[in-house]
Amino acid sequence: METIKLVYPVEGGDMIEAGEASSKMKLTLKKLGLPQDVIRRASICMYEGEINMVIHADGGEAEVEVDMDRIVLRMTDTGPGIPDVEQAMQEGYSTAGPTARELGFGAGMGLPNMKRYSDEMTIETEVGKGTVVTVVIKIPQ
Ligand SMILES: Nc1ncnc2c1ncn2[C@@H]1O[C@H](COP(=O)(O)OP(=O)(O)O)[C@@H](O)[C@H]1O
Ligand SMILES: [Mg+2]
């Protein structure tokens, strides 16, 4: 299988449409015939990353690379950045505002769940510049 690359723009400020990129990616991964557990874990990671870009960074872009043995999700934004990544990774820690919370976001479980459901996760971030979250999901052979 050749490497497949997908790119999804994620609109900022649209908490109602949030989740669209992960739904679209899920459909494509199903069509590729990938294992169900791999699709489920990739979709959770994509959903959480997408929501974070919407509620914390005014949108961004999600790139998906599917290889024989792994899926790489790269979520890039030019938002405020994360001042303390270790703190942000704590379960329950959230800086979500009241509007996001009214819509049910802000449980502070997004980053911890991305860590849990991926095989590798890295966060590159700079305050005032933006954030790149990369997760790798291995495809069992
Ligand atoms: N892309 C991002 N840009 C800026 N801050 C982020 C981003 N993603 C996460 N964060 C910060 O990390 C915190 C924890 O994220 P997360 O675990 O997904 O919880 P939640 O989204 O429910 O707040 C967020 O509240 C926010 O402060
Ligand atoms: Mg989140």
Going from the C-alpha of 20 to that of each of 15, 54, 116, the distances in angstroms are 10, 11, 22
CB 52 within 8 A of CB 85: no
- Poorest-pLDDT segment among 14-18, 42-46, 84-88, 117-121: 14-18
Tokens 């938002």 found at? 79
Burial class (CB in 10 A: 0-12, 13-18, 19+), 85: middle
> Which of 44, 55, 82 to mutate for ligand 1's pocket (most ligand atoms within 8 Å of CB)?
82
- Ligand 1 atom nearest the C-alpha of 60 is 1
DSSP-based three-state secondary structure for 88: helix
Residue 38 parent element (H or E): helix 36-57
59 CB contacts (<8 Å, ≥6 apart)? 9, 10, 11, 12, 13, 14, 53, 77
Is the model's pLDDT at 1 over the cut of 80?
no
pLDDT tens figures, 120-134: 999 999 999 999 999
Triad 16, 17, 20: Cα angle to 5°:
145
User: CATH code for 4-138?
Assistant: 3.30.565.10
Best substitution site from 47, 85, 111, 133 to test ligand 1's pocket, by max atoms within 8 Å of Cβ?
111
Separation of 1 CA from ligand 1 center, angstroms?
35
Give the ligand whose atoms come closest to the C-alpha of residue 109: 1
Q: Sketch the domain layout of the chain as residue ranges.
A: 4-138
Average of per-residue pLDDT across 98-104: 93
Residue whose C-alpha is closest to residue 107's, from 59, 43, 63, 47: 47
Would you place residue 93 in the very low, low, confident or very high pLDDT band (cuts 50, 70, 90)? very high
- Mean pLDDT, the chain, whole residue set: 96
**Strands (DSSP E) along 26-67, which ranges?**
59-66
Q: Which ligand is nearest to the CA of 47?
A: 2
